Amino acid sequence: MTTGSVNDDAAQQSADIADGRLAGGRLGTLQIVFFVIAAASPLTVVLSTGPFSLRFGGIGAPGAMLATGLVLTLFACGFTAMSKYVRDAGAFYAYVGEGLGPRPGAGTALMTMAAYGLCVIGFIGYLGVFADQSAADILNLDLPWQVWSLLFAGIVGIVGYCQVDVGAKVLGVLLTLEVGVIVVLLVAVLFQGGPETPSVAPLSPDNVLFADGSGTLFLLAFGAFIGFEGTAIYAEEAKSPERSVPRATYLAVGFLALFYTLSFWVVVYGYGIDDALAAAQGDDFLNMVFAQADQYVGGGLVTALRILIVTSFLATVIAFHNACTRYMFSLGRDRMLPRGLGRTHPRMASPHIASLTLTVITYVTVVCAIIAGLDPYLELGTWLYASGVIGVVAAQAICALAVVAFFLRDRRGHGALRVLVAPALGFLGLAAALYLMISNFSYLSGYTDTFPNALMIGATPLCFVVGALMRRRSRGPSATRTTEQPPTPVR
């Protein structure tokens, strides 16, 4: 890099800080992809969500992953087209505000912020569980999950406080390693062959859409893609966002859909359908993939998985933390939340006040869960994560409607298929998924009573109502961050 370009970068960062903006021009397409895929956490999805899906939803998990990828691709068609005209760190905030109006935009923003915050805290519980197991198996170090959760909450807070490209570099390394070890397992199982003839039953509509607990499959499947909007969240910090945001979106969704579908199918194939279902119902179901790795590859791969599942969960929490703090930053900048949240660091141009605030909230919640004696996986982790997923999917559905409304007024040279038909179909798919999630929520919560389930389901939608009511004291997503460009024939 030349001295001139260094000086230009420094001048741009100084301007960003002075204007209350995040540091621009830091992230390329692949770095944004790393954030989005890291938020989805492919290794943890295969190792923990896979067995969890089999346990509560049956063998249709591979088909649910594929169907979810198709729905989100339809949604992405309009979402990426709109990214040319609306750029804001609180992506759904600006998109819904421009498409449906400031009150729905503010409600969606607060709901999404809360949903990501719940996912941060839920995954801190998961992280403590797997760190405890991995440290005991590899290092013979016996520390309770509480210690690990509190330790990693601090690490996440430090990374979130720093400038965004630091987090991207960390995530890039971790993501490459975690995908690599899963590929080794998939190749080994496919090369050696499973105990039964390959079957398409895991992709059958009967097992995907109509089986008992199918809503659980879709809650977990959409949760596996969570962070998908991260491509637009980082538009302010991206290099050439008009190109990098659409590219990153399609790359991330396409990769995750194929990776999850193949991985889940291979895990079932490696066990055989009946044995996979039996293993998923056992007390040791979270070790299903570890046992398969030991059978088909050996102890070396098991050790690698034990280490990388911890770093993978860590990468996920970092990505969720970044997403949540950017919503906090955007809402603070627009004075819907305290203005201090909209401040950036004087040197790193990071949303440091928002990051510190979320870190404190995380610590307080985890400490309260410890005092209450909650199970870190089935209660602290699953309750908050499931509630967060419902909030994010609801925000995606509202955003799909906002995209249609935005382009109905003026297609700006885009084809109707991309900006009207595809997002409308995406909305229908998201709405259907929400119905299945809500109607099957008791499978995950463990409660048969209506009240606790309604409380967990309604936590994030309640934030929508609160946000819409709070809108009157804020500026809303301002037009200064909406770049109306001349119509261009893009299809």
User: Is 21 within 8 Å of 333 (Cβ atoms)?
Assistant: no
d(CA 169, CA 150): 23
399-451: pLDDT as tens digits: 999 999 999 999 998 999 999 999 999 999 999 989 988 988 887 787 877 88
What is the reported pLDDT for 171?
64
Is 303 inside any structural domain?
yes
pLDDT at 87: 67
What was the pLDDT predicted at 21?
54
Mean pLDDT of each 10-residue bin along the chain, 491 residues long: 45 45 61 74 88 90 94 91 73 86 92 94 93 92 94 91 61 80 95 93 91 85 80 69 80 92 95 94 89 95 92 85 87 87 78 92 96 92 91 93 95 93 95 89 80 89 91 50 39 30
List the CATH number of the domain containing 377: 1.20.1740.10
Alpha-carbon span 351 to 344, nearest angstrom: 5
Q: Which domain holds residue 121?
A: 34-476
- What is the identity of the amino acid at 77? C
> Which structure tokens are listed for 37?
């895929």
C-alpha closest to that of 101 among 483, 472, 489, 491: 472
Residue 19 lies in a domain: no
d(CA 72, CA 488): 25
Torsion sign, CA atoms 181, 257, 240, 329: negative
**Tokens at 484, concatenated:** 């109306």
Residue type for position 147: V
Rg, the chain, Cα only: 22
Task: Let me know how long the chain is.
Answer: 491
Residue 27 falls within a domain, yes or no?
A: no
Decide if 101 is inside a domain.
Answer: yes
Q: How many domains does the chain have?
A: 1
List, for residues 112-144, the tens digit of each pLDDT value.
Answer: 999 999 999 999 999 999 999 999 999 999 999
Looking up tokens 């190109």 gives: 243
The answer to the question of residue 482 being in a domain is no
Is residue 313 one of the residues assigned to a domain? Answer: yes
CA 136 to chain centre: 29
Is residue 413 situated within a structural domain?
A: yes
Q: Is 10 part of any domain?
A: no
